[in-house]
Each structure stands twice: as structure tokens, then as C-alpha cells.
Amino acid sequence: MSTIADALGVSTATVSLALRDSPLVADETRERIKDHARQIGYIYNRRAASLRTRRSGILGVVVHDIMNPFYAEILRSIEAELDRSRQTFILSNHYDQLDKQRTFIDTLLQLGADGVIMSPAIGTPREDIETAENNGLPAVLIARTVKGAGVPVFRGDDAYGIGLATNHLISLGHRRIIMIGGTDQTSTGRHRYRGYVAAMERAGLRVDPSWRIPGPRTKQAGFEVAGQFLSHKDKPTAAVCWNDLIAIGLMNGIARAGLVPGVDISVTGYDDLEEASIATPALTTVWNGQREVGRRAARVLLDRLSGIEVEPTQELIKPELHVRQSTTQPVERD
């Protein structure tokens, strides 16, 4: 800026004001300055500016794993929403490791980030969120919640959603339905399992504890669990899967074992990823409102930044059942 100022015989203050279209500077001066800036390829130094303004234009986003299409879809919608603002965002995976998450938050604080959207790692204590907030880093949670953290949360209504899938299988005539994947260590996990049990019990079906096969939420895991599922002593006719990845992996595993998914075994997914509709057979699944979650989380964070007071409420997005070919009436096998 001082180069420009010197070249044009004005002060840096004028340059600063001119470049930001302040009405304080005369039109003619502004044009001269802007022209010259363009000509010499001036590059605005954001960190110098942010030192003064206390705004860095950086937002952080932490999720479990970007490679997981569920989060990827959320990220897409966050990206789309932020595109229209002047914010840059920094991404990180925490892989459910608390220390990774803490390191990242610390980095954000050091960079003077303006806010953070996070899907908290398993076991995140309320204090971690408070640390961020107290140091001027407003947070918004997605997908998972942290008890007692006074910040907005956006997530799907998991208990209700898994209920939709379970009810659908029951209404097709299935009785021995096993739930696959997930863990009790996340709020999401507890909600989904509870929703499944509740739906079964509403239909008068007893749920055996062995009717749950917990595990990682990957395609690979679903694939590998197929054997265990098929050889289960109760001969289940259907699987309610934690998510689409597991469901697709499971269907692949079932096919590999010589059975036909969607005929011999019914399978439901969760999330309704793009993939679900092109899987073979096309997967019956629950749309979880990823787009909506990302969009609204971003929106609310931007609101918080612009000073709008936001209630720290939990917003539950209502899932919808999308029926496709992976669920049919049960057939007896053995």
C-alpha cells in the first residue's frame, strides 16, 4: 500500500479507504488508486488487516472424515453456502481422536478463525466447546451433539428415521431384523439403536441383544460382516444398517455368498447417498437431510458472525424413507 501511496503522492490511509470503496475519498482519487493497484499487481494482505480488524475471514470445519460421503455431502452444501460470503474455510478430519480435534481448534484460534462448524469427536467434553467459545471462536454443531454445550446443533432425527426403515421392513412381513453397524459412544448411535428397538417393540417383536452387530461405518466393514450376519443362529431375513456404506458393503457380501440381496435378504441403508440409487439392487434408505444440515449450520454461523443473536437450540431435521429394490417380502431360507 505504501508503494501505491508513494507513487501517487497520497497517504496509505487514502489508499486503504479507496480500495475499500469508502465514500470518504473522492471518486477521481479512488479510480487513480485502483487503477494503479491493478497495474502493479497489488495483493491485499489479509493477515495484516485482520490484525487490526479482528476478523480473519477464515472458518473451520471439522468432521470425522471427509472421505465419508455422508460428510462430503454436508461439506458440499457448506461450501455452496459459504461461497456467497467472503469466508474461506479450512477443513480437518478428527477420525474420532480427541487430540486431533483439539489440535485443530488450537490452530483455528492461532489463525484467528471467525468460527467453526464441527461434528464433535466421540467423547468431546462440554469444556472443549467452551474453550473455543470463550476465546472468541463461535461454534455450531452438526450431526452429533454434546451435552450441555450451549451452542446450536443441527442433526437429523435419528430415532424417527431408523424407525421409518424398521417399520417398513416389519410391514413387509419381516420379523427377525438385525441392526448392523454403529456404536453406543455417539449420540447418533444411541438414538438410532433406540429408534430401532422402539419400532420393534411397538410391533410386539422382542429384540435379542445379539440382534445387533456394532462396528465401523464403512463399506469394508459391511462387506466383512456378511458372513456373521448370514450364519446368525436366528436366521434373520432383513438388516437395518447404520448407513448406506455398510448396507452396500453388506449387499456385496451377500452377493459374494451366493444369495441375492433384495430377494433372499432385505437391506435398508441410511443417508440416501447418491450411490444408493445406483447400487444393485437400488437401496431402500432413509434420506437424512445432509444438504439441509450443512446449509443451515453455515447459515447460522454466518448469522452469529454478523452479530445476530442465535438461540442455542437443537434443530431436528425430519428424515424421509426412500423405498427402492433392496427390500421385499421375506423368504424362508436354509
| Site residues, a second copy (CB under 8 A) | 41, 43-48, 50-51, 56, 58, 66-67, 69, 72-73, 75-76, 79, 88-91, 93, 106-107, 109-112, 135, 219-220, 223, 249, 252-253, 255-256, 274-275, 278-280
Distances from the Cα of 249 to the Cαs of 92, 241, 245, in angstroms?
26, 10, 6
Strands 115-118 and 58-63: parallel
* Comparison of 95 and 208: residue with beta carbon closer to a second copy: 95
For the bound state, the minimum distance from the C-beta of residue 252 to a second copy, rounded and expressed in Å, comes to: 5
Contacting residues toward DNA, per CB under 7 A: 1-2, 9-14, 16-17, 19-20, 23-26, 29, 42-45, 48-49, 51-53
Q: Which three cell numbers stand for residue 1?
A: 500500500
For the bound state, the minimum distance from the C-beta of residue 226 to a second copy, rounded and expressed in Å, comes to: 10
For the bound state, the minimum distance from the C-beta of residue 91 to a second copy, rounded and expressed in Å, comes to: 5
- 69-83 helix and 290-305 helix, angle to the nearest 10 degrees: 40
109 binds, among DNA, a second copy, none (CB under 5 to 8 A by kind): a second copy
Distances from the Cα of 19 to the Cαs of 24, 165, 219, in angstroms?
11, 56, 52
| Residues contacting 211, CB < 8 A, separation 6+ | 176, 177, 178, 179, 234, 236
* Comparison of 67 and 308: residue with beta carbon closer to a second copy: 67
For the bound state, the minimum distance from the C-beta of residue 273 to a second copy, rounded and expressed in Å, comes to: 10
* Comparison of 54 and 202: residue with beta carbon closer to DNA: 54
For the bound state, the minimum distance from the C-beta of residue 62 to DNA, rounded and expressed in Å, comes to: 23
138 binds, among DNA, a second copy, none (CB under 5 to 8 A by kind): none
For the bound state, the minimum distance from the C-beta of residue 220 to a second copy, rounded and expressed in Å, comes to: 6
Strands 285-287 and 320-322: antiparallel
Q: What share of the chain is helix, strand, coil (3-state, %, to 5)?
A: 45, 15, 40
What is the rounded distance in angstroms from the CA atom of residue 82 to the CA atom of residue 89? 8
* Comparison of 199 and 226: residue with beta carbon closer to a second copy: 226
207 binds, among a second copy, DNA, none (CB under 5 to 8 A by kind): none
What is the rounded distance in angstroms from the CA atom of residue 162 to the CA atom of residue 240? 8
* Comparison of 164 and 221: residue with beta carbon closer to a second copy: 221
For the bound state, the minimum distance from the C-beta of residue 40 to a second copy, rounded and expressed in Å, comes to: 12
323 binds, among DNA, a second copy, none (CB under 5 to 8 A by kind): none
* Comparison of 65 and 315: residue with beta carbon closer to a second copy: 65
The helix/strand/coil state of 239 is: strand
Q: In this structure, what DSSP letter does residue 280 have?
A: S
41 binds, among a second copy, DNA, none (CB under 5 to 8 A by kind): a second copy
Which of these, 175, 328, 324, lies nearest to 263 by C-alpha position?
A: 328
What is the rounded distance in angstroms from the CA atom of residue 273 to the CA atom of residue 286? 9
24 binds, among DNA, a second copy, none (CB under 5 to 8 A by kind): DNA
Which of these, 206, 210, 179, lies nearest to 195 by C-alpha position?
A: 179
* Comparison of 163 and 262: residue with beta carbon closer to a second copy: 262
231 binds, among a second copy, DNA, none (CB under 5 to 8 A by kind): none
Strand order in the sheet with 115-118: 88-93, 58-63, 115-118, 139-142, 153-156, 314-317
For the bound state, the minimum distance from the C-beta of residue 41 to DNA, rounded and expressed in Å, comes to: 11
2 binds, among a second copy, DNA, none (CB under 5 to 8 A by kind): DNA
What is the rounded distance in angstroms from the CA atom of residue 291 to the CA atom of residue 299? 12
